[in-house]
Amino acid sequence: MYQFQLIAAQKMEIILPFLQLLNPDLSPLIIKKRLNDMLANGYQCLGVFEHEKLIGICGIRILHKIYVGKHIEPDNVIIHPDYRNKGIGEKMMQWVAQFAKENNCEALELNAYLSNEKGRKFWEENKYIALGVHFQKKIQ
């Protein structure tokens, strides 16, 4: 019923409405520029499709860190509100985990906003463990 596939870089603009949902305070121009910068640095994105309609996305970054080794960071994870609570998110993350195995990764690791209670609940229900707190300092 649903198809899971990496979105070709030249078609990546189809994810812009989803990125806007995740980042309503950012202008579309900033989102598009940042997406292009990410694509230039190896960013990939899994799309979940119902027929030809994009209904979910999960950005994929393969990273290396001392404490965890080679891993995938799922990023910009969202299912369209009309398709939530249907098990699509779990299937999407199973796809990402398989992709990680195929790319010799040791783990999946992500950031979740403290204010996103539903998102945190999703990750916890899918056996992700909170290891710490993500800090940020803006450079002015």
Distance (Å, rounded) from C-alpha 56 to C-alpha 15? 9
Residue type, 51: H
**What does the domain layout of the chain look like in residue ranges?**
2-125
Task: Please check the confidence at residue 133 and state whether its pLDDT lies above 90.
Answer: no
Class of domain 2-125: alpha beta
Contact between 39 and 47 under an 8 Å Cβ cutoff? The reply is no
More confident residue, 119 or 90: 90
Structure confidence by residue, pLDDT tens digits, 27-70 = 999 999 999 999 999 999 999 999 999 999 999 999 999 999 99
Residue 116: strand, helix, or coil: coil
Q: Which residue in 81, 97, 89 sits closest to 123, CA to CA?
A: 89
